[in-house]
């Protein structure tokens, strides 16, 4: 009886742990998208311009891109429990600071800290579950974590809309605090310390520093292009440092005995192109999610709650289509299904570029359906290709690279659409007139949105061509 009771207690702890980790995954996914709805309000309430408020979501995603490979490496070296708790505690504290911030710069600084905590939650959650659950239940546990992540993505716009309309933008951040405290308490009580790999003690600090400098300078330089005279000479300096930093990072990884990234993996065209396609896919979806609140609020004058419900259409469709895409891909091939998904993304980009002041809710839904279905058809099979393109001993590395491609795509998407939308909208304002996105004429906003997405279409056409090439290549093998 004693053994049975101990076994039942251990199983109970496993499921309580899964609940706690799922809360973390939910909050991480929620905060990627919930803030976008508040951007027009933040720009007005905190007296900020478009280029500055853009850094509220951008700083969060940038931290994910910079730190994902570092945290994955640290998770192999140190206690996952204490790294996870450090991340959760940081996420909780920074959420509170975000909620009480009185200036846009303090808010951005707090979002950087929040992104720092979020990357520990995102990267270590699957590793913790894999370590705690037995083989017979591991797939179910990982599936539940993935599902809660999708739920966070789908509820982000909806929950954000309700909170914004009834409680103000600060509630978007403060809602995290009580949920985080519950999750931290559960993790402390039920998560064992676990083992750490004593054979891998070297951490590539130099490589991590070069990556951080390169990405930060590149993104700072790109956002400054939105300013008058394209930000002046400082923009060129930042971009140059960013490019040199990227080259230096790659050289350091080639020479390092235990690099953050094993460059030999990229000899596989399947892996390299699949990671590129993943970045492009997330680049496009980030463009859409970032711009839609501005368009729907400033052009259509919908309430925050209405905007949240309309934006939620895409992730909900993705959730419905994703599992079906997986089973269909098993039968007809992952690359062929992901290519169909990319084609639908291209179609959706073309339809979104026809948004106008006369857009109806029915017209909006018809234009967004290809996007939701395309996301569901493209991302799961493409991720499966990435994981299947590496030897078994590099599965965790492949997972980290996929997450990096996702974070980098989101960062580049927000930056690119921010540059295009602001510059194109400003081009329709008479010379000498002060420009602000929140006060720009409707005609200028419509022009900026339409032309921006027509330019993004070019990137998606390149992605479709690459995916088609890989599909033909695989069929010949």
What does the pLDDT look like over 340-385, one tens digit per residue? 889 999 999 999 999 988 888 889 999 888 988 888 788 777 877 7
For every residue of 424-461, DSSP letters joined together read HHHTTSPTT----GGGS-HHHHHHHHHHHHHHHHHHHH
Query: Do 36 and 290 form a contact (C-beta atoms < 8 A)?
Result: yes
Q: How confident is the model at residue 457 (pLDDT cuts 50, 70, 90)?
A: very high
287 Cβ contact partners less than 8 Å away, ≥ 6 residues apart: 413, 414, 416, 417, 452, 453, 456
Is residue 200 assigned to a domain? no
Q: What is the pLDDT of residue 461?
A: 94
In terms of C-beta density within 10 A (0-12 exposed, 13-18 middle, 19 or more buried), how is residue 430 classed?
Answer: exposed
- The domain in which residue 472 lies consists of 261-477
What is the C-alpha separation between 183 and 185, in angstroms, rounded?
A: 5
Instruction: Give me the chain's average pLDDT, please.
Output: 79
Number of Cβ atoms within 10 Å of the Cβ of 160: 29
What is the C-alpha separation between 204 and 257, in angstroms, rounded?
A: 9
What is the C-alpha separation between 175 and 403, in angstroms, rounded?
A: 26
Distance (Å) of CA 179 to CA 14, 23, 35, 89, 154? 19, 7, 17, 12, 18
Higher pLDDT, 240 or 398: 240
Structure-token pair, residue 12: 């109970």
What digits encode the pLDDT tens for the residues 378-407? Answer: 877 787 777 677 776 666 667 677 778 887
348 Cβ contact partners less than 8 Å away, ≥ 6 residues apart: 367, 368, 369, 370, 371, 374
Is residue 473 assigned to a domain? yes
pLDDT over 60 at 1, yes or no? no
Are 156 and 11 members of one domain?
A: yes
pLDDT over 90 at 78, yes or no? no
pLDDT over 70 at 326, yes or no? no
Are 321 and 379 members of one domain?
A: yes
Is residue 197 assigned to a domain? no
Q: What is the pLDDT of residue 346?
A: 94
Sign of CA dihedral 8, 10, 16, 18: negative
What is the C-alpha separation between 202 and 258, in angstroms, rounded?
A: 7
Q: How confident is the model at residue 97 (pLDDT cuts 50, 70, 90)?
A: very high
pLDDT over 80 at 258, yes or no? no
CA dihedral of 41, 47, 51, 55, whole degrees rounded to 10: -70
Report the chain's terminal Cα–Cα distance, integer Å. 57
Are 273 and 253 members of one domain?
A: no
Domain CATH number, residue 477: 1.20.1250.20
Are 105 and 210 members of one domain?
A: no
Of all residues in the chain, the percent with pLDDT exceeding 70 is: 80
Are 116 and 217 members of one domain?
A: no
Q: What is the pLDDT of residue 221?
A: 80
Are 150 and 283 members of one domain?
A: no
Is residue 125 assigned to a domain? yes
Is residue 211 assigned to a domain? yes
Q: What is the pLDDT of residue 30?
A: 75
Are 163 and 277 members of one domain?
A: no
| Number of structural domains in the chain | 3
Residue 380 DSSP code: H
Are 459 and 385 members of one domain?
A: yes
Q: What is the pLDDT of residue 261?
A: 74
Is residue 195 assigned to a domain? no
Are 295 and 235 members of one domain?
A: no
Higher pLDDT, 151 or 426: 426
SS3 content of the chain, % helix, strand, coil (to 5): 85, 0, 15
Q: What is the pLDDT of residue 145?
A: 64
Which of 272, 271, 268, 259 shows the shortest CA–CA distance to 211? Answer: 259
Q: How confident is the model at residue 330 (pLDDT cuts 50, 70, 90)?
A: low
For every residue of 97-156, DSSP letters joined together read HHHH--SHHHHHHHHHHHHHHHHHHHHHHHHHHHHHS-HHHHHHHHHHHHHHHHHHHHHH
In terms of C-beta density within 10 A (0-12 exposed, 13-18 middle, 19 or more buried), how is residue 338 classed?
Answer: buried
Q: Out of 163, 190, 217, pick the residue that ends a domain.
A: 190
Q: What is the pLDDT of residue 6?
A: 47
Are 411 and 463 members of one domain?
A: yes
Average pLDDT over residues 43-47: 80
Are 361 and 224 members of one domain?
A: no
Are 58 and 173 members of one domain?
A: yes
Q: Out of 257, 279, 298, pick the residue that ends a domain.
A: 257
Q: What is the pLDDT of residue 238?
A: 85
Is residue 28 assigned to a domain? yes
Q: What is the pLDDT of residue 464?
A: 92
Angle between helices 55-77 and 104-132 (to 10 degrees): 30
Q: Out of 155, 190, 225, pick the residue that ends a domain.
A: 190
Helix (H) or strand (E) holding 198: none
What is the C-alpha separation between 384 and 292, in angstroms, rounded?
A: 30
Distance (Å) of CA 331 to CA 5, 324, 326, 370, 380? 44, 11, 9, 22, 14
Is residue 199 assigned to a domain? no
């Amino acid at each position: 009886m004693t053994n049975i009771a101990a076994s039942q207690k251990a199983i109970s702890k496993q499921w309580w742990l899964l609940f706690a980790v799922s809360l973390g995954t939910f909050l991480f996914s929620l905060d990627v998208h919930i803030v976008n709805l508040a951007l027009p309000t933040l720009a007005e309430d905190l007296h900020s311009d478009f280029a500055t408020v853009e850094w509220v979501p951008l700083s969060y995603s940038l931290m994910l891109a910079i730190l994902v490979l570092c945290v994955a490496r640290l998770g192999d070296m140190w206690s996952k429990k204490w790294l996870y708790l450090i991340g959760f505690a940081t996420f909780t504290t920074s959420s509170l600071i975000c909620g009480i911030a009185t200036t846009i710069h303090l808010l951005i600084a707090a979002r950087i800290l929040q992104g720092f905590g979020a990357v520990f939650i995102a990267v270590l959650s699957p590793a913790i579950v894999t370590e705690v659950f037995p083989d017979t239940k591991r797939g179910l546990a990982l599936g539940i974590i993935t599902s809660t992540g999708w739920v966070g993505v789908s509820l982000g716009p909806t929950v954000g809309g309700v909170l914004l309309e009834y409680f103000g933008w600060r509630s978007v951040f403060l809602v995290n605090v009580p949920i985080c405290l519950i999750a931290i308490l559960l993790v402390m009580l039920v998560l064992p310390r676990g083992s750490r790999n004593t054979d891998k003690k070297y951490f590539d600090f130099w490589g991590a520093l070069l990556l951080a400098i390169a990405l930060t300078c590149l993104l700072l330089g790109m956002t400054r292009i939105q300013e008058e005279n394209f930000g002046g000479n400082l923009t060129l300096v930042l971009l140059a440092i960013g490019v040199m930093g990227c080259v230096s990072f790659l050289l350091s990884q080639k020479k390092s005995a235990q690099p953050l990234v094993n460059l030999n993996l990229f000899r596989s065209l399947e892996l390299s192109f699949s990671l590129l396609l993943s970045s492009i896919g997330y680049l496009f979806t980030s463009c859409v999610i970032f711009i839609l609140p501005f368009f729907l609020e400033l052009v259509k004058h919908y309430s925050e709650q209405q905007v949240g419900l309309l934006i939620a259409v895409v992730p909900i469709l993705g959730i419905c289509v994703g599992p079906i895409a997986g089973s269909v891909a098993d039968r007809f091939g992952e690359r062929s299904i992901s290519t169909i998904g990319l084609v639908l993304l291209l179609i959706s980009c073309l339809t979104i570029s026809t948004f106008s002041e006369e857009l109806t809710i029915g017209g909006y839904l018809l234009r967004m359906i290809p996007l939701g279905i395309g996301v569901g058809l493209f991302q799961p099979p493409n991720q499966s290709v990435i994981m299947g393109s590496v030897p078994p001993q590099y599965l965790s590395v492949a997972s980290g690279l996929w997450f990096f491609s996702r974070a980098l795509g989101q960062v580049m998407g927000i930056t690119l659409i921010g540059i295009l939308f602001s510059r194109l909208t400003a081009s329709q304002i008479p010379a000498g007139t002060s420009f602000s996105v929140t006060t720009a004429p409707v005609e200028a906003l419509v022009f900026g949105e339409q032309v921006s997405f027509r330019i993004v279409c070019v990137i998606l056409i390149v992605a479709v061509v690459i995916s088609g090439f890989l599909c033909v290549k695989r069929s010949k093998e």
